[in-house]
Amino acid sequence: MASVDDDRSWEDRYRRGTLIPIYLNIKKMNTEIQTENLIGPDKVMDVRPIPCSIKHGLIIRTWLELPVGDHFTLLNDHDPVPLYYQFSAQWPEAFTWEYLVRGPEEFRVKITKLKAFEAPAEEIAGCCGGH
């Protein structure tokens, strides 16, 4: 059986629609965590210490608030491929996803915003793969 971090496993589950969503309401999230404080002057957003239950929502909110053409580098302790599939499903052709470091202990992904979007009023499903 494929491991949780196996890209093919996530891709297969995504295509079959069997990813288990964790629902996050971006507008009603934990307001104690501000995205401005999460991105350092080097444009790195270190999400390693953030609980998985709110991690995807914070990353998405940060991306939605970016000006078109801007980016940040996501720093995580596991491959954020489930987040990539979520972006691909909800905002196709609106972002670029470039791996800068690909494990094994840290993953850095440069995420660039290509199109303008408003934060959704509805809940956004997220899945962190059990991390």
| Whole-number pLDDT of residue 120 | 59
Q: Where are the domains of the chain?
A: 7-126
Q: What is the CA radius of gyration of the chain?
A: 14
| Whole-number pLDDT of residue 8 | 47
Q: What is the mean pLDDT of residues 100-115?
A: 96
What's the whole-model pTM score?
Answer: 0.68
Residue 5 above 60 pLDDT? no
Residues 7-126: name the CATH superfamily. TusA-like domain (3.30.110.40)
- Looking at every residue in the chain, the average pLDDT score rounds to 76
User: What are the angstrom distances between the C-alpha of 57 and each of 1, 2, 51, 66?
Assistant: 29, 26, 11, 14
Q: Which of these, 1, 52, 60, lies nearest to 27 by C-alpha position?
A: 60
- Better-predicted residue by pLDDT, 16 or 102: 102
pLDDT digits (tens, 9 = 90+) for 15-73: 454 433 333 344 444 434 554 567 888 999 999 999 888 999 999 999 999 999 999 99
Q: Which residue has 């957003």 as its token pair?
A: 45
- Cα distance between residue 67 and residue 45, in whole Å: 16
- Cα distance between residue 41 and residue 51, in whole Å: 23
Confidence at 131, pLDDT banded by 50, 70, 90? low
